[in-house]
Amino acid sequence: MTNRNKLAAAVGQLEEHLLWLKEEGTRTIAADPKSLNTAATPAPVSKPWKTDSPKVPSLGKTAAPAFQPLPPPPAPLIADVAAAQTKLAEIARHIAGCEKCVLCRKRTHTVPGQGNPQPEIMFVGEGPGEDEDAQGLAFVGAAGKLLTRMIVRMGLTREQVFIGNIVKCRPPGNRAPLPDEMAACLPYLREQIAILQPKVIICLGGTAVKGLLNNQTGITRLRGQWQKYQGVDVMPTLHPSYLLRGGGEDRARWWEVWNDLVAALRKVGREAPPQKTSAAS
């Protein structure tokens, strides 16, 4: 890369950073020009995310990531993105007409998953719940809102990742999908992963691990330990619904999940942005 290209890349990153600050409401910036070429050391995180109550976490605003004038990764060709979107849409159409298992009988909508067609990180959960069945979108209920806070705290947006499930139809009463139901639906997920080609897959909960990896180890024992799926690094961690239910009172579990997410970020060459601290933290 020539010096001119490096300068253009740095200016582009600076412009994106300033636009981000503008959206966050920042109107003035005080900076020492000599410090711009030095990577800022992230402040220690006092909590993985702020909480308004013992059960429902609220991340609030996330601090701006430290500006580092590094060239951005090469952008995928538009044609590649368009091809991936076309293939994913084709899979979604097949899912919409699928009748391979009994889950099709009472569904309102199929939930193929959604997000970036070429993500660095992919999240895989268990299956749709009531809200997901009603909207046809993955992780939009209470657990989905918590997952969104986690993704934002990672310095990302839902549009930058892909979110899907082991099964694409809601199991009755939100029960765990049965082995034959997972076996019928897994080919769709495997096709999606082959198209998406994520660098890291984060499995949310034991069912996702059993379905994708055929690993029967309990999630509380397996979480935090890197696995592999077809050459892709897989991080098993606890499901957001667990944190909202049985694990909601155990703050150590929240930290375990956060450490797993940080490990996934580092695997793709990213760091979580520093968290804003306040007297109330």
Confidence tier at 3 by pLDDT (50, 70, 90): low
Q: In what order do the strands lie in the sheet with 162-165?
A: 114-115, 162-165, 121-125, 200-204, 232-237, 227-229
The residue-averaged pLDDT of 99-115 equals 97
Q: What is the pLDDT of residue 265?
A: 98
Split at pLDDT 50, 70, 90, the class of 92 is very high
73-267 homologous superfamily: Uracil-DNA glycosylase-like domain (3.40.470.10)
Please write the tens of the pLDDT for every residue from 33-75: 444 444 444 444 444 655 443 343 444 444 444 444 444 555 5
Per-residue model confidence as pLDDT tens digits over 13-24: 656 555 555 554
Question: Has residue 118 got a pLDDT over 50?
Answer: yes
Candidate from 31-35, 95-99, 250-254 with smallest mean pLDDT: 31-35
Q: What is the pLDDT of residues 210-232, one digit of tens each?
A: 999 999 999 999 999 999 999 99
Q: Give the residue, 63 or 110, on which the prediction is more confident.
A: 110
Rounded Cα distance between 195 and 186, Å, is: 14
For the segment 106-122, the average pLDDT, to the nearest whole number, is 97
Residue among 13, 63, 5 at smallest CA distance from 37: 13
Q: 85-89, 134-138, 245-249, 259-263: which range is least confident on average?
A: 245-249
Indicate if the pLDDT at residue 32 is higher than 70: no
Q: How far is CA 63 from CA 10, 19, 42, 152, 276, in A?
A: 21, 14, 10, 10, 5
pLDDT higher than threshold 90 for residue 113: yes
Instruction: Give the pLDDT score at 7.
Output: 59
Global pTM value: 0.74
Q: What is the mean pLDDT of the chain?
A: 82
Long-range contacts of 17-25 (CB under 8 A, 24+ apart): 17/64, 17/65, 17/67, 20/64, 21/64, 24/61, 24/64
Break the chain into its structural domains and give their ranges: 73-267
Q: Which residue has the higher pLDDT, 21 or 112?
A: 112
- Kindly state the percentage of the chain with pLDDT values over 90: 66
Rounded to whole angstroms, how far apart are CA atoms 101 and 98?
8
What pLDDT does 77 receive?
Answer: 57
pLDDT band at residue 250 using 50, 70 and 90 as cut-offs: confident
Q: Which two tokens stand for residue 271?
A: 């760091």
131-166 residue pLDDT tens: 999 999 999 999 999 999 999 999 999 999 999 999
Q: What is the pLDDT of residue 15?
A: 62
pLDDT category at 241 given cuts 50, 70, 90 is: very high
